[in-house]
Chains A and B, each alone.
Chain A
Amino acid sequence: MDDEKVVLGEGEQEFLAPEDAQTYEDALLQHDLEEDLAADQFAQRSDGAMPEAAEDIETVSMWRDTLRRLRRDKLAVASAILLLAVIVISALAPLIAPHDPYTVVLTDRLKPPFTPGHLFGTDQLGRDVLSRLIYGGRISVTIGVAAVLVALAFGIVIGLLAGYYKGFVDTVSIFGLNVLNAFPYILLAIAIIAALGPGLTNAMIAISIVGIPYYARIVRGQVFSLRERDFIQAERALGASDWRIITRHILPNCISPIIVAATLDVGWMIVMAAGLSFLGLGAQPPTAEWGVILSDGQQYIQNAPYISLLAGMMIFIVVLCLNFLGDGLRDALDPNLKN
């Protein structure tokens, strides 16, 4: 047996010095591999009775590693930049939009794109389409993110309780989730809107509720696989409270799948919210929201197809970018999954 390896302790890996590696990239890859191999052991060690400081160091380096792997995924990086641009433009809408999105100018109705002063043309009421799309991004993106956060919050709580306490709590939660899952997703949203009445806020509440089972299931599954692991048993043997075990050990270990799921889900929430507006059940005209703009434009599809096409294009681009970013994050957070 190689003498050097005997000296190394259990769980430690031989490092390839950067100068020995052919390229820096190779060295990084080698480093990644070592870390992936060591990750499990590290997680178990740091989640045991190690001092707090050790946990913090590990947390930081995990995120740094993820970010470094993500940076190599060109598609994910491009998507992230594009999404950032959408967010910045939406946030600065009053500064960037060339016109007010609600000002009706009847003399300027249905001007085609590239009309001077109206890059994307005007709609049936002479409102500037570009400005409406920019303001629309504010509502659509906010709805998507907010709906995911609300669904996530409830999903995490339900999933943690069901997974950790099992028994009656789990049976009741699973029954509730099964009932919610018995509806095709938009049907459930429609049912909730039927009760609350059409509108932007109610549509957001509806899609949040629709999203809950998805997160609850992910978290529950993670908790199930974690709760019998040795480091949790050790913590329990040391007399840690349920609250401490759940918040300090189980929850942090659920984070990766949740981040990936949430990233992908923001896009679907935006589509669902726009779809509900399209049906007349979400945001109502004249609100500048992508679904409303698309639905308004549908009546003028023959003469002015650009209104609906551009609004749909915005939704499509954001969803596509979120998918690329979500896939990139999944690979970056857990390189073992990459096929």
Chain B
Amino acid sequence: MLKYIGKRLLGLIPVLLGVSILVFLIMQLTPGDPALIMLGPKATATELATIRHQLGLDLPIWQQYLRWITNIFRGDWGYSIHYKQPVLDLILQRFGATMLLTAAAMIIATVFGVLAGVVSATRQYSFADRFMMTASLVGFCLPVFWLGLILQLFFGIRLGWLPVSDMHSPGVTALGDTLLHLILPAFTLAIASMATIARMTRSSMLEVTRQDFIRTAKAKGVSKHNIAYKHALRNSLIPVITVVGSQFGYLLSGEVLLEVVFNWPGLGSLMVSGILYRDFPLVQGTILFVATVYVLVSLGVDLLYAAFDPRITY
């Protein structure tokens, strides 16, 4: 197992290197001169030359990359033109909000998804099963930004039960207040993943139910409840773990959209405003950061999967 983890970690290096090169190159393609953006149109030629030299823009491109990546490792992620703050500070300030929303959605999606899947599988072809599977298909197809608006409209504006934007009420820092603000975006974000997890749980559980050891358990006289929960469910969760893990990327993607819908102060809205303000150091830093987190989490899921399934040997 340790050898496997080591191997996977080593395999991570070229991917992260590729990601950093891609992010660097993408930002090199951006139209406009960063020096000009920083100084404004009134800058003189000498001023421009000075700042270009300071930023290393007069170096060959591979040297610029080396310089950039060395700075990244040193914790210097550049300086946001719009927010006038170091990029890494901005990212770390907002990272918590993004992770809170993603984690909340992940938990909701997993709990309700598995529950719905179990109900469907144990009552195959019943009304509940059909309803759940139709609902999951609908949930899967709902554009997340539209669903967000509908829930805002209904629970926030019509019923007035829940706050529809921001992470806190102005001036309030209590945890309960944040949780209240979290409900709508987290549920919206969770719906599509919940649908996927429910379908996976159902089909995985149905497959396990057809296996010999379940028949043996029935023959031994194990109760229906114990067969469903102690035998079938446990064994069907292995593929479900992979699906749950694979949802992380979708959640992060949906998150970018939802942060704008719900005015949630996370990395997604930071990145979008970075593009709209043409704040390239900020965009570059945020993209690199999120991609790195994503790669690390995906690896974590793979390892978890390996740990859970005793059939996998290394």
Tell me if B143 and A195 are in contact (CB < 8 A). no
Quick one: which of A179, A187, A313, A339 contacts B203, CB cutoff 8 A? A339
Nearest opposing residue in chain A for B29, CB measure:
A195
The answer for the CA separation of A312 and B145 in the assembled complex, in Å, is: 9
Q: Which residues of B contact A285 (CB under 8 A)?
A: none
A274 interface residue per 8 A CB criterion: yes
Interface residues of A in 167-218 (CB under 8 A from B): 175-176, 178-180, 182-187, 190-198
B23 interface residue per 8 A CB criterion: yes
A281 interface residue per 8 A CB criterion: yes
A112 interface residue per 8 A CB criterion: no
Type the 1/0 row for B269-300, where 1 means its CB is closer than 8 Å to any CB of A: 00110111000100100010011001100000
A221 interface residue per 8 A CB criterion: no
Q: Which residues of B contact A280 (CB under 8 A)?
A: 272, 276
B107 interface residue per 8 A CB criterion: no
Tell me if B275 and A194 are in contact (CB < 8 A). yes
Q: Which residues of B contact A319 (CB under 8 A)?
A: 141, 143
Quick one: which of A279, A311, A312, A316 contacts B272, CB cutoff 8 A? A279
* With A182-B15, A279-B272, A281-B272: A194-B30 Cβ-Cβ less than 8 Å: yes
Among B53-61, B228-236, B249-257, the stretch that binds chain A is B249-257
The answer for the CA separation of A281 and B283 in the assembled complex, in Å, is: 13
Tell me if B30 and A195 are in contact (CB < 8 A). yes
B49 interface residue per 8 A CB criterion: no
* With A179-B19, A316-B141, A323-B140: A308-B146 Cβ-Cβ less than 8 Å: yes
A309 interface residue per 8 A CB criterion: yes
Tell me if B146 and A184 are in contact (CB < 8 A). no
Q: Which residues of B contact A196 (CB under 8 A)?
A: 29
Type the 1/0 row for A283-311, where 1 means its CB is closer than 8 Å to any CB of B: 00000000000100010011001001101
B39 interface residue per 8 A CB criterion: no
Quick one: which of B22, B140, B290 contacts A184, CB cutoff 8 A? B290
**Interface majority SS on B: helix, strand, loop or mixed?**
helix
The answer for the CA separation of A195 and B140 in the assembled complex, in Å, is: 31
* With A279-B272, A323-B140: A187-B287 Cβ-Cβ less than 8 Å: yes
Quick one: which of B31, B142, B272 contacts A197, CB cutoff 8 A? B31
* With A175-B18, A194-B275, A302-B157: A182-B295 Cβ-Cβ less than 8 Å: yes
Interface residues on chain B, size class: 35 or more
B138 interface residue per 8 A CB criterion: yes
* With A194-B280, A301-B157: A186-B149 Cβ-Cβ less than 8 Å: no
The answer for the CA separation of A194 and B273 in the assembled complex, in Å, is: 11
Type the 1/0 row for A40-56, where 1 means its CB is closer than 8 Å to any CB of B: 00000000000000000
Nearest opposing residue in chain B for A176, CB measure:
B18
B26 interface residue per 8 A CB criterion: yes
Tell me if B143 and A190 are in contact (CB < 8 A). no
Chain A interface residue count, CB cutoff 8 Å, equals: 44
Tell me if B19 and A183 are in contact (CB < 8 A). yes
Nearest opposing residue in chain B for A272, CB measure:
B253
Interface residues of B in 244-269 (CB under 8 A from A): 249-250, 252-254, 256-257, 260-261
The answer for the CA separation of A173 and B280 in the assembled complex, in Å, is: 29
Nearest opposing residue in chain A for B150, CB measure:
A309
B307 interface residue per 8 A CB criterion: no
B152 interface residue per 8 A CB criterion: yes
The answer for the CA separation of A247 and B272 in the assembled complex, in Å, is: 43
The answer for the CA separation of A284 and B130 in the assembled complex, in Å, is: 41
* With A184-B294, A278-B257, A280-B272: A315-B149 Cβ-Cβ less than 8 Å: no
Among all A-B residue pairs, the 4 with the closest Cβ atoms:
A312-B146, A179-B18, A186-B253, A195-B29
Question: B residues engaging A (CB < 8 A)?
Answer: 14-16, 18-19, 22-23, 26-27, 29-31, 137-138, 140-146, 149-150, 152-153, 157, 203, 249-250, 252-254, 256-257, 260-261, 271-272, 274-276, 280, 283, 287, 290-291, 294-295
Given contacts A194-B26, A279-B257, A323-B137, 19 further A-B contacts (CB under 8 A): A176-B18, A178-B15, A184-B250, A186-B254, A187-B291, A187-B294, A190-B275, A190-B283, A194-B287, A196-B29, A275-B145, A281-B275, A305-B153, A309-B146, A311-B146, A315-B146, A316-B141, A319-B143, A320-B141
Can you list 23 pairs linking A and B with CB atoms under 8 Å apart? A182-B294, A182-B295, A183-B19, A183-B290, A185-B249, A186-B256, A187-B271, A187-B294, A190-B287, A194-B280, A195-B26, A195-B27, A195-B29, A196-B29, A198-B275, A278-B260, A298-B149, A301-B157, A312-B143, A315-B143, A316-B143, A316-B146, A339-B203
Question: A residues engaging B (CB < 8 A)?
Answer: 175-176, 178-180, 182-187, 190-198, 267, 271, 274-275, 278-281, 294, 298, 301-302, 305, 308-309, 311-313, 315-316, 319-320, 323, 339
